[in-house]
Amino acid sequence: MTDPKPLRLLAEEGDDLRIIAAAVQDAVVKAGNLNYEKRKRRFSIELNRYRWETAPARKGQPGERVRALLAFDGVLGVKTRGITKADPELILSLLSADFVADVAEPPGGKVTLLFAGDGEIVLTVEALDATLLDSDYVWPTRHVPSHERRKR
């Protein structure tokens, strides 16, 4: 089997962002790696993405994580809830990314990034312009993300 190529994904519509959201589900990020460059109107996240596209077929086999960059351009504003950069080493787990178009002013809208523990980042964008770029830095992990409730 050949090594999978790093992902290079672009999103200009909500359906495109759903594909990126599936790729970054369960990515982990340090709070210090959330970056908003107001002058450039760019919000970016350096994250460690679980490679769902190479997930093991059998339980117990190691999966992989890859270092990646998720960036949004044309960002007019950022609001957070339940997320702070006070501790830059705090680990956050990204659960989903969604885009809702502004009916009054298309193609603008809001991108919502939802994190475990009810953390949320809402980006107001002039148009959806998202990019996911994997690096070549890949490593094995025994911890496969799971959303099943633990039995007590």
Q: How many domains does the chain have?
A: 1
141 falls within a domain? no
Task: Give the tens place of pLDDT for each residue, 76-106.
Answer: 999 999 998 889 999 999 999 999 999 888 8
16 falls within a domain? yes
146 falls within a domain? no
For residue 12, what are the domain limits?
8-54+63-136
Whether the model clears a pTM of 0.85, i.e. scores above it, the answer is yes
Q: Evaluate whether 67 touches 137 at the Cβ level (below 8 Å).
A: yes
Quote the CA–CA distance of 48 and 52 in Å, as a whole number.
12
49 falls within a domain? yes
114 falls within a domain? yes
Highest-confidence range of 16-25, 47-56, 140-149, by mean pLDDT? 16-25
122 falls within a domain? yes
Specify the pLDDT at position 104.
86
